[in-house]
């Protein structure tokens, strides 16, 4: 809010000195790059002076003279014409009082709110869930939480691959190599084994490959036995996935997988042929993007010459459904970078069909092993998400055991799960999504470092202050007086929450929030060292407790937006 208030004051000052604002000009105030010179800064005088051909320092001086800052801040000129603002102690105190009564912790509601469909996770049934699905799940969940908190209407949809060519192999395997009791014990693992076995056989034997193809054709033709096997596989896989999502605390409003759209594909292609959006080419039906710089020579096939439909066809039908049924204003696809072309094509084809929701491919890079190559298991397979979660929790348990060996075992298991899973999520979300990051257990679980455990521990440390007080102190929001430098810095960081959350969706960067929380925790620890809380009294103690209270609220809320929980003890 402080930023907006200062922008308001600046606009008014421009008005007072009679500057004609150019079309579309917006006064901007930002967090100061160098805190020695102030808390906020604006380059408006420089931008305007250039356009109006006057001297920037003179314009800045004039503005400062007429600015009605009250006791909000003190302004001065720096360098070629920057205006720096130093927020006053009393303004910080007032701001902290306001935050204490604000359950949004300074984050304004967006306007206008939009209906946003978030398409993420979307693994393929009975095929191994790969690292890309891990990233998609964690990033997609966090973006959904952020968008919801800002006030958007968010619909999360798990577009699972439940109708791919893999079913030819799985059905053949089901009929020939399935182990019933293993299926009962661990369905996902057994389906995966069946898939891998048949996949390997296909590589060696053309006859097997042919049989699988036949099984697929039968399935697509509605063969009762194959349909039954398919349905069973999908159900079992969904149950397995649900177990993982529960551990991750990730939820979906819908699971409309690819098969949900089967009946809509043929009519859609017919309609596109009729309207001229698509045309026949060598027996197939394609959408051509003539004259499009990126896609000119890259048509999208929507029906093969043998009559089969493709991934793109399903995605077009899916967009259609989301626009018609859910009135989606925006659709976000959290899918790895290798699918970039696919999304460019379906977005463009959708526009050709005359629909224009705002569609975004939110891409991400790879996860690398410590050898900096794509992360694999020792046997060279894709790493399984369940194994990652198990190991994270196990390792977190060890870390907690070292720190707090007397913790009650039930509580310890609970904390280990919160810390372990939080670590995996934070390692993901603290990187820019396009970065290929190295997966390092030791680094992500370190109590000192840019990690979830560090933030969770910071939270526990704040809460322990209140436990020591045992409810004997009520914070009086009207009696705050921020004075010490460490108090000012913590207040500044607390205000920054409301300035950070609204920009996270600009380029889909939860990492800005992750990094902000690390800064906040650092500010808290410096404050805690410099400013005794329990040993102070009167207004000083009241003020410090208020800062502690707000710190714990922002840490909890901020981590919550990343999908990370906080323990009460650690």
Segment contacting ligand ARG by CB under 6 A, of 92-100, 122-130, 281-289, 436-444: 122-130
Of 296 and 436, CB closest to ligand ARG: 436
Cβ closest to ligand ARG, residue 150 vs residue 331: 331
Question: Strand 437-438 vs strand 367-368: parallel, antiparallel, or unpaired?
Answer: parallel
Looking at the Cβ atoms of 161 and 563, the one nearer to ligand ARG is 161
Site for ligand ARG contains 140 (CB under 6 A): no
Which lies closer to ligand ARG via its Cβ, residue 317 or residue 531? 317
List all residues 6 or more positions away from 558 whose beta carbon is below 8 Å from its beta carbon: 497, 513, 516, 517, 520
- Which helix (H) or strand (E) covers residue 185, if one does? helix 180-185
CA distance 178 to 327: 43
Nearer to ligand ARG, 65 or 263 (CB): 263
Q: Which of 145, 159, 353, 361 binds ligand ARG (CB under 6 A)?
A: 159
Q: Which stretch binds ligand ARG (CB under 6 A): 71-79, 116-124, 274-282, 396-404?
A: 116-124
Task: Please count the CA atoms within 13 angstroms of the CA of 142 that sit on its side-chain side.
Answer: 32
**In terms of CB distance, is 59 or 319 closer to ligand ARG?**
319
Q: Does 124 contact ligand ARG by CB under 6 A?
A: yes
The label of the residue with tokens 């969706």 reads: 505
Shortest approach of ligand ARG to residue 39 CB, angstroms?
43
Q: Which of 28, 21, 32 is nearest to 44 (CA)?
A: 28
Smallest gap from residue 315 Cβ to ligand ARG (A): 5
**Integer Cα distance of 280 and 474 in angstroms:** 74
The DSSP call for residue 27 is -
User: Can you tell me which of 5, 39, 119, 487 binds ligand ARG, judged by CB under 6 A?
Assistant: 119
Query: How many residues contact ligand ARG, by CB under 6 A?
Result: 10
Instruction: Name the one range near ligand ARG by CB under 6 A: 119-127, 215-223, 452-460, 536-544.
Output: 119-127
Nearer to ligand ARG, 39 or 315 (CB): 315
Which lies closer to ligand ARG via its Cβ, residue 342 or residue 443?
342
To ligand ARG, the closest distance from the beta carbon of 405 in angstroms equals 43
- Nearest approach in angstroms of CB 261 to ligand ARG is 10
Contacting residue, 140, 161, 299, 422, with ligand ARG by CB under 6 A: 161
Neighbours of 101 (CB within 10 A): 7
In the numeric block, the tokens 């959290």 are attached to 334
| 497: nearest Cα among 444, 421, 563, 560 | 560
For ligand ARG, the binding residue among 39, 315, 499, 549 (CB under 6 A) is 315
CB-CB contact of 477 with 101 (8 Å)? yes
Minimum gap (Å) between residue 515 Cβ and ligand ARG: 28
Task: Give me the helix-helix angle, 206-220 and 187-204, nearest 10°.
Answer: 130
DSSP for 92-145 reads: HHHHHHHHHT-TTTTPPPPSS--EEEEE---PBTTS---HHHHHHHHHHHHHHH
CA distance 298 to 155: 31
Q: How far is the CB of 413 from ligand ARG (least distance, A)?
A: 32
DSSP state of 375: P
Closer to ligand ARG by CB, 85 or 332: give it.
332
DSSP 535: T
Binding characters for ligand ARG, 319-358, by CB under 6 A (x = yes): --------------x-x-----------------------
Rounded Cα distance, 541 and 547, in Å: 10
Q: Is 122 in the site for ligand ARG (CB under 6 A)?
A: yes
Binding residues (CB under 6 A) for ligand ARG: these are: 119, 122-124, 159, 161, 315, 318, 333, 335
């Amino acid at each position: 809010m402080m930023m907006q208030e200062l922008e308001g004051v600046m606009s008014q000052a421009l008005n007072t000195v009679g500057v004609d604002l150019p079309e579309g000009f917006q006064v901007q105030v930002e967090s100061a790059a160098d805190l020695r010179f102030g808390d906020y800064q604006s380059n408006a005088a420089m931008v305007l002076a250039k356009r109006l051909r006057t001297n920037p320092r003179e314009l800045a001086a004039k503005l400062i003279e007429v600015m009605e800052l009250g006791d909000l801040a003190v302004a001065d000129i720096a360098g070629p014409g920057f205006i720096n603002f130093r927020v006053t102690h009393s303004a910080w105190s007032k701001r902290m009082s306001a935050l204490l009564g604000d359950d949004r912790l300074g984050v304004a509601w967006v306007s206008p709110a939009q209906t946003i469909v978030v398409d993420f996770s979307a693994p393929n049934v009975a095929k191994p869930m790969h690292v890309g699905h891990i990233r998609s799940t964690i990033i997609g969940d966090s973006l959904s939480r952020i968008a919801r908190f800002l006030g958007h209407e968010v619909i999360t949809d798990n577009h699972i691959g439940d109708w791919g060519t893999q079913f030819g192999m799985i059905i053949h395997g089901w009929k020939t190599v399935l182990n019933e009791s293993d299926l009962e014990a661990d369905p996902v693992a057994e389906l995966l084994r069946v898939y891998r076995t048949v996949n390997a056989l296909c590589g060696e034997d053309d006859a097997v490959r042919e049989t699988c193809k036949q099984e697929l054709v039968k399935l697509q033709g509605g063969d009762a036995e194959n349909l039954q096997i398919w349905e069973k596989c999908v159900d079992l896989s969904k149950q397995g996935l649900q177990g993982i999502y529960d551990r991750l605390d990730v939820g979906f409003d819908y699971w409309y997988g690819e098969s949900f759209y089967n009946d809509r594909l043929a009519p859609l292609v017919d309609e596109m042929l009729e309207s001229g959006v698509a045309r026949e080419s060598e027996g197939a039906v394609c959408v051509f993007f003539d004259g499009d710089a990126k896609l000119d020579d890259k048509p999208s096939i929507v029906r093969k010459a043998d009559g089969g439909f493709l991934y793109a066809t399903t995605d077009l039908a899916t967009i259609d459904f989301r626009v018609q049924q859910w009135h989606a204003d925006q659709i976000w696809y959290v899918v790895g970078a290798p699918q970039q072309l696919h999304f460019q094509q379906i977005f463009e084809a959708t526009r050709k069909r005359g629909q224009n929701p705002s569609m975004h491919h939110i891409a991400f890079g790879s996860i690398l092993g410590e050898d900096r190559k794509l992360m694999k298991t020792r046997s060279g397979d894709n790493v399984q998400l369940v194994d990652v979660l198990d190991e994270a929790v196990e390792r977190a348990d060890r870390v907690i055991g070292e720190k707090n060996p007397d913790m009650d075992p039930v509580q310890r298991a609970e904390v280990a799960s919160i810390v372990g899973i939080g670590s995996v999520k934070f390692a993901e979300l603290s990187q820019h999504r396009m970065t290929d990051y190295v997966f390092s257990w030791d680094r992500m679980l370190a109590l000192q470092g840019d990690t979830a455990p560090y933030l969770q521990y910071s939270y526990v440390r704040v809460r322990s202050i209140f436990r020591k007080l045992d409810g004997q102190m009520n914070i009086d929001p009207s009696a705050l007086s921020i004075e010490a430098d460490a108090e000012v810095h913590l207040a500044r960081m607390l205000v920054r929450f409301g300035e950070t959350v609204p920009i996270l969706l600009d380029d889909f960067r939860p990492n800005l929030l992750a990094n902000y929380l690390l800064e906040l925790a650092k500010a808290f620890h410096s404050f805690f060292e410099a400013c005794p809380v329990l040993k102070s009294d009167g207004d000083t103690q009241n003020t410090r407790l208020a800062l502690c209270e707000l710190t714990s609220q922002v840490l909890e809320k901020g981590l919550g937006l990343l999908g990370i929980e906080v323990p009460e003890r650690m």
